[in-house]
Amino acid sequence: MSETIRIRYLSDKVERLRPIGDKSDWIDLRSAADVELRQGDFALIPLGVAMALPEGYEAHIVPRSSTFKNFGILQTNHMGVIDNSYSGDHDEWKMPVLAMRDTLIHAGDRICQFRIMKKQPVLVFEETDHLGGPDRGGFGSTGVQ
Distance CA 145, CA 128 (A): 34
Distance CA 135, CA 61 (A): 34
Q: Is 83 a catalytic residue?
A: yes
Question: Annotated catalytic residue: which of 25, 34, 83, 102?
Answer: 83
Active site residues: 83
